Homo-oligomer: A and B are copies of this chain.
Amino acid sequence: MTDGFNATQPIYLQLLQKVIIQIVRGDLKTGEKLPSVRELGAQFKVNPNTVQRAYAELERLAVVETRRGLGTFVTEDKACLNQLREQLKHEKIDTFIQDMKEMGFNAVEIIAGLSEHLNDKSN
């Protein structure tokens, strides 16, 4: 709609993924405070309600904890975050392989094509 969002998926889900990526990368560390719903809403030119919906979902996933009147914080549970990172990695790889095989590519083609792309880019 406004900025860097895919029109075919709810914004709150894309917002949720952006935050999760930041956590998995380590850009948002354990216990660190997230931007307020109003602040993040302003940053992405999106309604605060939409941000809140993403935050609520993040809390449901136990990735963040909210303290009324204080803000929303990344969970202190490092094991949970490590598990999240591993889980996301496996899911991503799994769906990738599944999709590729569904399109008729075999393991050799996948590895070959992947090596090409990895060589093209910077590590």
A-side residues, CB < 8 A to B, are: 8-10, 13, 21, 24-26, 85, 88-90, 92-94, 96-97, 99-107, 109-111, 113-115, 117-118, 121, 123
**A111-B118, A114-B111 given as contacts; is B25 within 8 A of A104 (CB)?**
yes
How many copies the complex holds: the figure is: 2
Chain B hits for A114, CB < 8 A: 93, 96-97, 110-111, 114
Chain B hits for A115, CB < 8 A: 111
From DSSP, what is the main secondary structure of chain A's interface residues? helix
Chain B hits for A25, CB < 8 A: 102-104
Is the pair A97, B113 in contact by a Cβ cutoff of 8 Å? no
Chain B hits for A93, CB < 8 A: 100, 110, 113-114, 117
Q: Shortest CB–CB separation between residue A100 and chain B, in angstroms?
A: 6
Is the pair A105, B117 in contact by a Cβ cutoff of 8 Å? no
**A89-B113, A111-B118 given as contacts; is B21 within 8 A of A102 (CB)?**
yes
